[in-house]
């Protein structure tokens, strides 16, 4: 595997909050991930990039315990999530915030009720406290005063910010984003990206982001893993990856059609051998 930087390895400075070793995941007879190792230190913003269908979302689903590995193991905060019972997993997931591409707000609930839903689901807090928590989070995403609006009354960028407030309302230790900037206009992209960064810092979270947006990840991510052909094709800081001579990394970072990373997923094995 071409490791791009020895200097800013995601495992250097602190004990990793997420450790993954030898992760293999199959769907039926198709191998989706074939030997993934990760070390992600607490507090970082780490992006997973790579071609469509390469398995980026699958990695997030495995780390959050929605899927179970066929081989290898995953540790989050020293806990082996691959060995947890369903009950333990449910408790574990309370500490994970998730923001998906479409934000997926409940269309028949107000902004307030959308953000309050995870609190009601996971706690027995009194109504007055729920109200306070929701208003604090709504304000933190710059949308104080919108609590009685319905989702259809929000712009795309506002809806994404409400979804972010909902995702972090229980102060998760780990935040997972799947294409959080897709479909937004440039101003909303910038607002949501800034909020993601500020929230990570303010709540002391670790954030994992699946994204195709290389320019935004250069601004946001501390570290990038490129997943291609079922494995990690390269990793490093955005700067190191941009300067890399590795053909697979160069192809992806600079959006070249020709190169060792296959355009068609099915051709992966041959292409991977070219990546070394
Ligand atoms: N529920 C599912 N059932 C069967 N196959 C699936 C399912 N979800 C994903 N896959 C397959 O697993 C592989 C990896 O999918 P995944 O969504 O992780 O890729 P990705 O890198 O996130 O892609 P994209 O960038 O297009 O979102 C793909 O070949 C996909 O077709």
pLDDT tens, N- to C-terminus, the chain (276 residues): 544 433 334 434 467 899 999 999 999 999 999 999 999 999 999 999 988 888 999 999 999 998 999 999 999 988 898 788 888 888 888 889 998 776 689 999 999 999 999 999 989 999 999 999 999 999 989 898 999 999 999 988 899 999 999 999 999 999 999 999 988 888 888 988 999 999 999 889 999 999 988 888 999 999 999 998 899 988 999 888 888 888 778 777 777 767 776 655 444 444 444 443
Distance between terminal CA atoms of the chain?
6
Output the residue whose Cα is nearest ligand 1's atom 6.
27
Give the Cβ contact number of residue 170 at 10 Å: 18
For a ligand 1 pocket test, name from 23, 27, 69 the mutation site with the most ligand atoms within 8 angstroms of its C-beta. Answer: 27
Q: Let me know: does 192 contact 157? Beta carbons within 8 Å.
A: yes
* Ligand 1 centroid distance, CA of 182 (Å): 17
- Residue from 169, 174, 171 nearest 42 by CA: 174
* Ligand 1 centroid distance, CA of 33 (Å): 10
3-state secondary structure of 218: helix
Radius of gyration of the chain (CA): 19
Distance CA 250, CA 2 (A): 12
pLDDT at 6: 35
Q: Beta partners for 75?
A: 19, 80
Q: Could you give the ipTM of this predicted complex? A: 0.96
Predicted TM-score of the model (pTM): 0.86
Output the residue whose Cα is nearest ligand 1's atom 29.
53
CA 204 to chain centre: 16
Distance CA 208, CA 44 (A): 8
For β-strands 30-41 and 71-76, DSSP reports them as unpaired
265 lines ligand 1 (CB under 6 A): yes
* Ligand 1 centroid distance, CA of 22 (Å): 19
Classify residue 267 by its DSSP letter.
Answer: G
CA 206 to chain centre: 9
Distance CA 79, CA 91 (A): 12
For a ligand 1 pocket test, name from 24, 30, 32 the mutation site with the most ligand atoms within 8 angstroms of its C-beta. Answer: 32
* Ligand 1 centroid distance, CA of 136 (Å): 36
- Residue from 271, 63, 73 nearest 172 by CA: 63
55 lines ligand 1 (CB under 6 A): yes
């Amino acid at each position: 595997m071409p490791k791009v930087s020895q200097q800013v390895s995601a495992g250097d400075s602190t004990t990793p909050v997420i450790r993954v070793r030898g992760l293999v995941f199959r769907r039926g007879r198709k191998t989706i991930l074939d030997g993934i190792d990760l070390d992600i230190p607490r507090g970082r913003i780490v992006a997973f990039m790579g071609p469509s269908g390469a398995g980026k979302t699958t990695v997030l689903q495995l780390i959050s315990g929605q899927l179970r590995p066929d081989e290898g193991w995953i540790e989050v905060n020293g806990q082996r999530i691959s060995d947890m019972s369903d009950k333990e997993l449910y408790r574990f997931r309370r500490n994970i915030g998730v923001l998906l591409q479409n934000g997926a707000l409940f269309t028949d609930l107000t902004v307030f009720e959308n953000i309050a839903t995870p609190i009601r689901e996971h706690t027995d807090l009194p109504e007055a406290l729920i109200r306070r928590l929701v208003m604090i989070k709504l304000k933190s995403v710059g949308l104080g005063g919108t609590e009685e609006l319905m989702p259809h009354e929000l712009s795309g960028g506002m809806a994404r910010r409400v979804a972010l407030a909902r995702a972090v309302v229980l102060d998760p230790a780990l935040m997972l984003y799947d294409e959080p900037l897709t479909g937004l206009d440039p101003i909303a992209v910038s607002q949501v990206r800034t909020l993601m960064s500020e929230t990570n810092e303010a709540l002391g979270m670790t954030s994992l982001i699946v994204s195709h947006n290389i320019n935004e990840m250069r601004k946001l991510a501390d570290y990038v893993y490129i997943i291609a052909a079922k494995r990690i094709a390269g990793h490093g800081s955005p700067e190191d990856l941009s300067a890399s001579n590795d053909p697979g990394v160069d192809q992806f970072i600079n959006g070249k059609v020709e190169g060792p990373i296959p355009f068609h997923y099915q051709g992966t094995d041959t292409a991977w051998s070219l990546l070394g």
